[in-house]
Amino acid sequence: MAVESALTVGASRSGANANRAVRIWLYALAVLVLLMVGIGGATRLTGSGLSITEWKPVTGAVPPLSDTAWQAEFEKYRASSQYQNLNRGMEMPEFKTIYWWEWSHRQLGRLIGVVFFLPLLVFWWRGALNRRIALALLGIGILGGLQATVGWIMVASGLQAGMVAVAPIKLMLHLLLASLILVLLVWVAAGLRAPRADRGEARAPGAAVVFLGLVLFQIALGGLVAGSKAGLTYNTWPLMDGQLIPAGEALLKGKPTWENFVDNPLTVQFQHRMVAYLVVLFALWHAWSLRKAAPGSSAARSATGLAAMSIAQMVLGIVTLLLVVPLWAGLAHQLFAMAILVMATVHARLSLPALAARPVTGPASVPAGALR
């Protein structure tokens, strides 16, 4: 019995250590994804995304190392419509600035791939991942590969003749995929935590998941705002074009009608505003309902924090709009949205009663009586 007890305790500690190691790794990846989104936002706001006109997943990791190589890259960019229509007369120092933004964005994507797959192989080889976790991580890895492909498709859309920026819907898809990868990383990591002490109390798991979905939807709409540059127009609040709700003929003037929701700056900004109000109202209701049902619980506290963050994000969005999207405000608005997304993911994951934290490892635990 003593031997059995010692082995059981040792296995339990081993499983806890494996949980902790995998959780730290996943949160480190989440931080890298957040940094990736930030650099991507800076790349977009500085107009740098089309400075590299080719996609070379391996050799593209090496930047130009000579004046001749730099000149060759510059000539490729000078053939683009963006240069011809927006940046004609740009000198080499200016080109290098936008080139380094885009190169850094792509290089960080390569680094994330390495930081994801090498530890994954090590954990798998050491038997530190059970089947459920391993399959989830493989799915995230596939999404990462898809994200790189979508990123190039997005850039290629802006390199077509007559285009001076990427297609808004492709930028939205690129941002949405990054957000989804972030959600999945944090979801798996949060699931490896010990259960909340108040898991038996009211948690409103359905509402927590709905709020997470609303935040994702709002981020997607923000991607459309960025892609269509809708934030550079109608820079007043609370009125928009002199009205609280713009006229229907202005919102739906394009043909076919659905294109207004992607390309019409008025419609794109209006829907982003309206969903922002919805997110804040839902967050306030969710916090109020949890504080009423389970006052003092960790679920109520996290819901209250999310409500406060949602209000702060709305205020930051208004400031960004009124200032006509300066770089610092645009980046702050985008990164704070990601922070809300992370917190909403943790809140939703820990609110689901049927998904209590399980050990990562499969064979590490020793069942009672196995050594009798």
Is 143 domain-assigned?
yes
Q: Does residue 180 carry a pLDDT above 80?
A: yes
109/154 same-domain check: yes
Look up the domain containing 28 and give its range: 13-167+183-193
Q: What tokens appear for 71 in the block?
A: 């000149």
Q: How many domains does the chain have?
A: 2
Is 2 domain-assigned?
no
Q: In the structure, what pLDDT confidence band is assigned to residue 9 with cuts at 50, 70 and 90?
A: very low
How many other C-beta atoms can be found within 10 angstroms of the C-beta atom of residue 270?
A: 21
H, E, C per residue of 280-317 = HHHHHHHHHHHHHHCCCCHHHHHHHHHHHHHHHHHHHH
User: For 283-341, what is each residue's pLDDT tens digit?
Assistant: 999 999 999 988 888 999 999 999 999 999 999 999 999 999 999 999 999 999 999 99
Q: Are 225 and 269 in contact (CB under 8 A)?
A: yes
Q: How far apart are CA 302 and CA 310, in angstroms?
A: 12
188/215 same-domain check: no
Cross-strand pairs, 96 = none
What are the CB-based long-range contacts (under 8 Å, 24+) for 276-281? 276/218, 276/313, 276/314, 276/317, 277/314, 278/214, 279/211, 279/214, 279/215, 279/218, 279/310, 279/314, 280/307, 280/310, 280/311, 280/314
18/54 same-domain check: yes
Higher pLDDT, 249 or 31: 31
Is 370 domain-assigned?
no
225/247 same-domain check: yes
Is 188 domain-assigned?
yes
Is 339 domain-assigned?
yes
225/345 same-domain check: yes
User: For 123-168, what is each residue's pLDDT tens digit?
Assistant: 988 888 888 899 999 999 999 999 999 999 999 999 999 898 999 9
pLDDT of residue 370: 35
157/290 same-domain check: no
What mean pLDDT is predicted for residues 10-38? 82
Q: In the structure, what pLDDT confidence band is assigned to residue 14 with cuts at 50, 70 and 90?
A: low
Percent of the chain past pLDDT 90, that is, above it, reads 70
Q: In the structure, what pLDDT confidence band is assigned to residue 194 with cuts at 50, 70 and 90?
A: low
Is 3 domain-assigned?
no
217/118 same-domain check: no
161/204 same-domain check: no
Handedness of CA 244, 247, 252, 253 (dihedral sign): negative
163/213 same-domain check: no
Cross-strand pairs, 240 = 243
pLDDT of residue 99: 97
How many other C-beta atoms can be found within 10 angstroms of the C-beta atom of residue 58?
A: 7
Q: How far apart are CA 270 and CA 319, in angstroms?
A: 16
Q: Does residue 119 carry a pLDDT above 60?
A: yes
Q: Are 124 and 134 in contact (CB under 8 A)?
A: yes
Is 125 domain-assigned?
yes
* Cα atoms found within 13 Å of the Cα of residue 104, Cβ hemisphere only: 18
* Closest C-alpha to 308, from 274, 280, 350: 280
Q: Which amino acid would we find at residue 361? A: T
Is 173 domain-assigned?
no
119/222 same-domain check: no
Q: Does residue 108 carry a pLDDT above 60?
A: yes
Q: Does residue 16 carry a pLDDT above 70?
A: no
pLDDT of residue 371: 28
Handedness of CA 20, 21, 25, 28 (dihedral sign): positive
Q: Are 197 and 203 in contact (CB under 8 A)?
A: no
* Closest C-alpha to 73, from 160, 42, 56: 56
pTM as predicted: 0.89
189/200 same-domain check: no
Backbone angles phi, psi at 243, to 5 degrees: -135, 150
Q: Does residue 355 carry a pLDDT above 50?
A: no
316/283 same-domain check: yes
Handedness of CA 333, 337, 338, 340 (dihedral sign): positive
How does the average pLDDT of the chain come out, rounded? Answer: 88
